[in-house]
Amino acid sequence: MNIFSVFWEYRTYFATGIQYTLLLAAIGVICGFVLGIIISLLRMSRLWLPKLIGSVWVEVLRGTPMVVQLFIIHYGLVAFGVKFTPIESGAITLSINSSAYLAEVFRAGIQGVDRGQSEAARSLGMTRSMTMRYIVLPQAVKSVLPAIGNEFITIIKESSIVSFIGVTDLMYQSGAIQGITYDYLSPLLVIAAIYFIMTFTLSKLLGAFERRLNTDDQR
Q: Which of 3-7, 123-127, 171-175, 178-182 has the lowest mean pLDDT?
A: 123-127
CA distance 191 to 178: 12
Q: Which of 38-42, 123-127, 160-164 has the lowest mean pLDDT?
A: 123-127
Mean pLDDT (whole number) for 106-113: 84
Higher pLDDT, 208 or 103: 103
* pLDDT at residue 52 in the model: 95
CA distance 208 to 186: 33
pLDDT interval class at 140 (50, 70, 90): confident
Q: 3-state secondary structure string, the chain?
A: CCHHHHHHHCHHHHHHHHHHHHHHHHHHHHHHHHHHHHHHHHHCCCCHHHHHHHHHHHHHHHCCCHHHHHHHHHCHHHHHCCCCCHHHHHHHHHHHHHHHHHHHHHHHHHHCCCHHHHHHHHHCCCCHHHHHHHHHHHHHHHHCHHHHHHHHHHHHHHHHHHHHHCCCCHHHHHHHHHHHHCCCCHHHHHHHHHHHHHHHHHHHHHHHHHHHHHHHHHC
Considering the chain, what is the average pLDDT of its residues? 89
Residues in the chain: 219
CA distance 173 to 9: 13
pLDDT in tens, 49-107: 999 999 999 999 999 999 999 999 999 999 999 999 999 999 999 999 999 999 999 88
* pLDDT at residue 1 in the model: 60
Residue 218 has pLDDT above 70, yes or no: no
Residue type, 188: L
Higher pLDDT, 164 or 122: 164
Looking at CATH, the fold of the domain delimited by 3-218 is given as MetI-like fold (1.10.3720)
pLDDT interval class at 21 (50, 70, 90): very high
